[in-house]
Amino acid sequence: MKLLITGGAGFIGSNFIHHILEKYPTYEIINIDKLTYCGNLENLKKVEDHERYKFIKCDICDKEKIDEIFQEEKPDFVINFAAETHVDRSILDPDAFVKTNFLGTHILLEAVKKHGIERFLHISTDETYGSIDNGKFKEEDALLPNSPYSASKASADLLARSYFKTFSLPVVITRSSNNYGPYQFPEKVIPLFISNILQGKKVPLYGTGKNIRDWIYVQDNCEGLDAVLHDGEDGEIYNIGGGNEKTNLELTQIILNELDKDDSHIEYVDDRLGHDLRYALDIEKVSKIGWEPKHTFEDAIKKTINWYLENEDWWKKLQTKELEEYYEKQYGA
């Protein structure tokens, strides 16, 4: 089997590549990534010389190059992780979100239509549903995204599904909840808060801190994606949730506590515009193909904090001028 993975130099994509190479002794991987500010080949250092792994620098919006890659590599499976992923950046500057998340997905779907493959796994998100006060989202619920990020992801998700309905493309879609674990770019809340505390800075908590996210350890998500890739049905959508709902304040206090710090390190800042109150997923459908999360939040958050403690070099290198400029725009600091 040959897997073409887009966005494999990012957080979930790189974890997924490690997972696949370890688990399947015959699978080959072609990783195509534009290497944006959060694409990082350091995440793949351990496999860069692996005989079954190859990296190609490529923007998924580059139609000709994508066509050439499909022609030359003839992948069996395509897994589309490539995206602009940070909600706050989508509020500051939505252009790249529409281009990569929507138009880029369209270019990939067209390449799949032309060249034919066994399966196109499109990585979508729980944020496409919008916010839910009570209960949990099921796969057939309406998509009511509230940020330019989630709207661009919802558009791509719907387009992918339409290529199944209209052209019978073998599309499967996953919508997962908030991931955490190794190699997550330190602009997302968990690595941002850990790295801030380790540098003696405060942590910027938006609004009241009462917004709720459902957290899934990235390894559990990779196993869920693997299950859907192999055992999901064409045209179907699968929620992949961790079942660990926490308010942002609870999450912050867990991190502070693990690092022997108290609430005085919290700085309440202006709320995010259009900030979704709560995400929660019903995972009955994916559990029917044999997947469930294995990690408890209590263990996996400790593992994650330890990883950032042990890999200071990894995240310190990411503290670039670009990131500083972003923080300046975002927090005016």
Query: What is the DSSP secondary structure assignment for residue 42, as one 8-state letter?
Result: G
Compare residues 205 and 240 and give the one whose CB is closer to ligand NAD: 240
Taking CB under 6 A as the rule, does residue 213 contact ligand TYD? yes
Query: Which region among 97-105, 185-193, 292-300, 310-318 touches ligand TYD (by CB under 6 A)?
Result: 185-193
Catalytic residue numbers read 126-127, 149
Which residues, 88 to 127, sit near ligand NAD by CB under 6 A? 100, 104, 123, 125
Contact 179, 186 (CB under 8 A): no
Strands (DSSP E) contained in the chain are: 2-6, 28-33, 53-57, 77-80, 119-125, 171-176, 178-180, 203-206, 212-217, 237-240, 245-247, 266-269
Taking CB under 6 A as the rule, does residue 55 contact ligand NAD? no
Beta carbon of residue 266, minimum distance to ligand TYD (angstroms, whole number): 10
Terminal Cα-to-Cα distance of the chain (whole angstroms)? 48
**268-281 as b/e, with b when 16 or more CB fall inside 10 Å?**
ebeeeeebbebbbb
Taking CB under 6 A as the rule, does residue 238 contact ligand NAD? no
Taking CB under 6 A as the rule, does residue 304 contact ligand TYD? no
Compare residues 18 and 188 and give the one whose CB is closer to ligand TYD: 188
Pairing of strands 77-80, 178-180: unpaired
Figure out which of the listed residues 79, 82, 87, 254 binds ligand TYD, where binding follows CB under 6 A. Answer: 87
Residue 20 identity (one-letter amino acid) = I
Calculated CA dihedral for residues 149, 78, 221, 17, nearest 10 degrees: -110
The residues that touch ligand TYD, with contacts defined as CB under 6 A, are: 87, 127, 178, 188-189, 192, 204-206, 211, 213, 248, 272
- Residues lying near ligand NAD in the complex (CB under 6 A) are found at 6-7, 9-13, 33-36, 38-39, 59-61, 81-85, 100, 104, 123, 125, 153, 176, 178-179, 185
